[in-house]
Structure 1
């Protein structure tokens, strides 16, 4: 347990220091972001990142192991698998499970990814299709992705729990983390910065109970519920410190809340 006494006027300096501490290549290996870092092709990175982010609740070692298992079942080539799989290939997925994510969910994800990639070069279009020209954040992108993802005629109702959306009040923590990975970039090379249709300024800082606890301790969050509006409130506060890249403070808040148990 780390103890800090930070005066409000020094909070930006403290958080910037924590970003620099955690936003380093050393962060990659023990984190789910290590899964997409195993790939070089855009589409492989996108697919690996999506699954790694959506599996990201609970123990990080287990998350990495399950995402690794899924990549192995996809022959280490998730994009090729989603585009060219046959019935025999899909049978390999029938025993895959991670917490509440089961084969029914996985088979639909593969179906959706096939549906999307035969029409589009990148998964980015699945998010930007819902955006409006003057969007200040990714709320419309996430709501649009939810509608698009479940637009196929045989979408299982049970899979709805795995794709969050602001209109449902969810924090959308895992999808916001996925967007952070895809959108923001810097010299440290942790996040990929592959997508240009969404600005880092539009990202919402991923928030869960750990990040919310730290944010409340520092007076960055007043809302008692940990939901979508809490993520928006936190991000607006973080924009006082960096209006162009507020989601970088996810490194600091995550490090303080999860690693340091602040």
Structure 2
């Protein structure tokens, strides 16, 4: 594991830089210095982080453009009807204007009750919890009370790997050149890898898992593998490793040769 850690650290130092973020919905978070706006923009960006990256970027840009000048003020000063009118005829793959309106209103209701998404998350999250799942289960349930958000928000109480929700938590909990951070009460050691097809391949490549299903059980197995390398921050290498297979010129075959 020592040699593996050395190789992972070299990859991290080379690729965990802002110049490798674009195109990635994480890019939008850098426009929001205030935590109350950062977490809202991050949650929205994460919910739409599926499909072709060009369309993801276009869609998130469109949504956040409507929430100007600040997402927090927009949500706290609009009625549900206002939001529905602002996003009338919205469509992104399987997501309709109803799904998006319900998502934004769900966030607004959490803000109204807890002041921030962070406070809602910490209402059920404890420092001794092994993973972020208790906080994520509660936050997701509070946002999706009306059950009209559809596939935009996965249910962490089911088998789903909840890749997009865990990606959001990585952004909010970790802080380095790429991840902006802001939620300081959760330890990075509690994070779970956001499991997409790229990280699934990496997990198999490193013999952290042999499972074919990209579900929560597999995500937890791969996280345990990274914990053997770096217990205090198992998701540290997520960004740099998933550049391979996403960015032009960085293939999985290239990663296989250097890892």
TM (norm. structure 1) is 0.88
Residue 194 (structure 1) shift = 0.2
Residue 133 (structure 1) shift = 4.8
Query: Partner of 2:171 in structure 1?
Result: 181
Note if 1:192 corresponds to 2:192. Answer: no
Residue 140 (structure 1) shift = 1.5
Residue 252 (structure 1) shift = 3.0
Distance in 2, Cα, partners of 1:193 & 1:140: 19
How does 1:209-228 map onto structure 2 within 5 Å? 209-228=197-216
How many residues in Structure 1 have an aligned counterpart in Structure 2?
A: 249
Distance in 1, Cα, partners of 2:234 & 2:85: 43
Instruction: State the Cα deviation string for residues 150-208 of structure 1 (Å, max 9, x = none).
Output: 33xx442xx2422123321111111111000000112x2x2112002221110001111
How does 1:127-138 map onto structure 2 within 5 Å? 127-138=121-132
Query: Partner of 1:49 in structure 2?
Result: 42
Distance in 1, Cα, partners of 2:74 & 2:92: 20
Query: Partner of 1:5 in structure 2?
Result: none
Worse overlay, 243-252 or 217-226:
217-226
Q: Which runs of 5+ in 2 are unaligned?
A: 253-259
Note if 1:236 corresponds to 2:230. Answer: no
In the alignment, which of 157, 164, 168 is matched to residue 158 of structure 2?
168
The CA RMSD measured in Å over matched residues stands at 1.9
- In structure 2, the CA distance between the partners of 1:220 and 1:253, relative to structure 1 (3 Å rule), is farther
Residue 101 (structure 1) shift = 1.7
Structure 1 stretches (4+) deviating beyond 6 angstroms?
Answer: none
Distance in 2, Cα, partners of 1:258 & 1:30: 9
Instruction: State the Cα deviation string for residues 189-237 of structure 1 (Å, max 9, x = none).
Output: x211200222111000111122111220221222232110111111111
